[in-house]
Amino acid sequence: MTRLTITYMKYLRTNLLTILLLITSGFIANAQYTETINSNRPGASQGAFSVGTGVIQLEAGGYYGNDTHTLLRTSTDILGADYSLRYGLFFEALEISLIGSFEDDTEFIRIGANDVEFKTRNFKTNTFGAKYLIFDPSRTIKPDQPNLYSWKANQKFKWKTLIPAVSIYAGANFSQSTNPFLYEGEKAITPKVALITQNNWRGSWVLVMNLILDKLTEEFPTYTGIVTLTHAFTPKFAGFMEYQGIISDVYADDIVRTGMAYLVSDDLQFDISGLINFKNTPDRWQLAAGVSYRLDLHKKEEYLDDSYEGDRRRKRTEKRQNKDKIEDIPEEN
């Protein structure tokens, strides 16, 4: 890597941390509890909103894939599981989480005319962290009232819809010093920070962006950007497309993911997805399937009264519950 590139990375890291501190000191906001499960699966990004106080949520899945490295003449079959345990702590804006993965890799190295097999099995990642919502546009920016005299005015693009919800994330990667997935000289505990934005648009479109700085104290830190676009086709089915760019002296890549999720109930979701990349050092593909489940201990009175969107959802839920009660009343003979 050139001296200019190294200088730029150091400049980017320093200035991003400064921006995070300024944003944190400038805004105070609240997150939103939602009627249905709020899962980060099946993509690799994190949404800006927490699961809500009193909510315990498990997101887990399995994946299978292959990495083929042209220059090193290796082919690696990958069987793994990823998991995320999320909990809304103290108040709506705060979420703590444990995010990790376990892999069983079988690597075949071509030596002469033979393929020599090597196995690696261990936790690949484990990160304990906290996410805090620092700005929620639905709390401060109310939607426009419908124009009763102009259809065109109601359909006109509104620039304020581009203002996203913003969260910050800070965590620590931890592992055993003997873990074979650690690079040579890498410490067992390293920091990880992220800036997260989320736009919820009309028509059931959601745009999530993550800017991640990982292993900042190491000789070879990693800079990652993720852009995820999700669309709900029906109240039950949703699809997504995702781009992930990774910059590091150890491993750099451009990855694309796509997949679908099916909402079984308010608290249960299944998903399938796949990924490919755009290089041959290594050439990657992967298929995955998973499930998300929440234990909802959230109290109705904890809905956000000062959030327009939170208040709207609370009223809609109460209306639905009252309707169910009326339907359950037996008819008199």
Please name the residue that has the structure tokens 């890597």.
1
Residue 207, class by beta-carbon neighbours within 10 Å (0-12 exposed, 13-18 middle, 19+ buried)? middle
Task: Give the DSSP H or E segment for 141.
Answer: none
CATH of domain 3-144+161-328: 2.40.160.40
* 84-137 pLDDT per residue, tens: 999 998 888 999 999 999 999 999 998 888 889 999 999 999 999 999 999 999
Report which DSSP code applies to 181.
Answer: T
Q: What is each CA distance from 20 to 11, 17, 75, 200, 227, in whole angstroms?
A: 14, 5, 40, 22, 19
Give the C-alpha separation, 41 to 103, whole Å: 18
pLDDT of amino acid 306: 41
Phi first, then psi: what are they for 166, rounded to 5°? Answer: -130, 130
Cα end-to-end span (Å), the chain = 84
**Tokens for 193?**
């920070």
Q: Which residue has the higher pLDDT, 317 or 151?
A: 151
Range scoring the smallest mean pLDDT among 102-106, 150-154, 224-228, 297-301: 297-301
- Report, as an integer, the average pLDDT of 312-324: 56
Question: Residue 332: which pLDDT band, with cuts at 50, 70 and 90?
Answer: low
